[in-house]
């Protein structure tokens, strides 16, 4: 059974959709106010409307590269249908964004399988303050609710607060936490966590890591060392390297994604704090530019507000 199936068992579609709609309210309001202004006084989609739309997308943090792709696609549709009017623009824009996301993320989460990996090892990376530990706690909660045995590894040993936070989440959701003294070798914590997970027959291991980007070489070396020691215990680990990004940082999230993807083999993204920002467009741009599946999105502060990312649901909610 896939992890996707585990989530769906516990989360009914209406509840998830309602949380998603609420979480995207700020992005939606800002986005549509800008589009309304972009087409004001215009009946047909002309060059001026397209220029205005380009500005709307860029200022909504979709990113320049992705915006230009979307505008080009709309231009081609306008060329094919000379009588395209501005009232149809929202539908066309929604279609083109959905198509773009589908093309860029063929490795969708719906096809992700838990498979034969036991334990399945997730290494979580990201700068401090993006909601990394909260995402780990919420993910552990979802998986435990589904009947999986989960263990957390507190390998961000440079901040006492990080270790304490992971321990608190462990207590809150009822999962085991492996931790050592502050300043311990992060690789040692990861090694211990995997060894104990194997001994205890646990299903999923989630390893937190330090979120420092001031020295990319140091980060690369540290993450590389953690991966090496984990593979001594579980060949092929980590199976998932999950990068957590904060949507509210806008363009800075793109830069963080660039830095971390250069430092390690990120193969999944979690984008948090969508409910607190009008910059939800970063989900579209990052998904497109980095070709890495967005697997989870954070749409609120409640423990169940970490959702599986569904491209179609996301775009439909944005244009609802």
Residue list, annotated binding site for GTP: 126-133, 208-212, 272-275
Helix (H, G, I), strand (E, B) or coil at 204: strand
- Residues of the binding site: 126-133, 208-212, 272-275
Cβ(28)–Cβ(320) below 8 Å: yes
Bridge partners of 1? none
Cβ(275)–Cβ(156) below 8 Å: no
Q: Which residue do the tokens 């969508």 mark?
A: 274
What Rg value do the Cα atoms of the chain yield, rounded?
Answer: 21
Cβ(279)–Cβ(25) below 8 Å: no
> What tokens appear for 186 in the block?
């992060």
Which of these, 153, 150, 117, 74, lies nearest to 240 by C-alpha position? Answer: 117
Torsion of CA 249, 252, 254, 259, to 10 degrees: -130
Cβ(199)–Cβ(238) below 8 Å: no
Cβ(20)–Cβ(317) below 8 Å: yes
């Amino acid at each position: 059974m896939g992890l996707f199936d585990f989530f769906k068992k516990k989360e009914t579609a209406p509840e998830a959709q309602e949380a998603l709609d609420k979480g995207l309210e700020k992005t939606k309001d800002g986005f549509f106010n800008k589009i309304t202004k972009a087409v004001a006084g215009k009946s047909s989609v002309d060059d001026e409307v397209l220029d205005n739309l380009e500005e709307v997308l860029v200022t909504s943090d979709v990113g320049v590269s992705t915006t230009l792709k979307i505008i080009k696609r709309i231009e081609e549709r306008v060329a094919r249908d000379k009588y395209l009017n501005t009232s149809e623009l929202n539908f066309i824009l929604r279609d083109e964004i959905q198509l773009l996301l589908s093309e860029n993320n063929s490795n969708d989460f719906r096809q992700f399988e838990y498979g034969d990996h036991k334990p399945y090892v997730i290494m979580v990376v990201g700068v401090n303050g993006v909601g990394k530990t909260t995402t780990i706690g919420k993910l552990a909660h979802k998986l435990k609710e589904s009947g999986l045995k989960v263990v957390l590894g507190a390998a961000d040993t440079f901040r006492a607060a990080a270790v304490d936070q992971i321990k608190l989440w462990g207590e809150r959701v009822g999962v085991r936490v492996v931790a050592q003294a502050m300043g311990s070798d992060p690789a040692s914590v990861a090694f211990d966590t995997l060894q104990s997970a194997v001994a205890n027959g646990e299903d999923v291991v989630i390893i937190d890591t330090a979120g420092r980007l001031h020295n990319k070489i140091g980060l690369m070396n540290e993450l590389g060392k953690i991966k090496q020691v984990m593979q001594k215990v579980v060949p092929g680990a980590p199976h998932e390297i999950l990068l957590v990004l904060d949507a509210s940082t806008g363009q800075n999230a793109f830069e963080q994604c660039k830095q971390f993807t250069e430092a390690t083999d990120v193969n999944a993204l979690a984008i948090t704090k969508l409910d607190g920002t009008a910059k939800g467009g970063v989900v579209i741009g990052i998904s497109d530019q980095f070709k890495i599946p967005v697997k989870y999105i954070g749409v609120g502060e409640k423990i169940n507000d970490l959702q599986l990312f569904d491209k179609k649901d996301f775009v439909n909610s944005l244009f609802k």
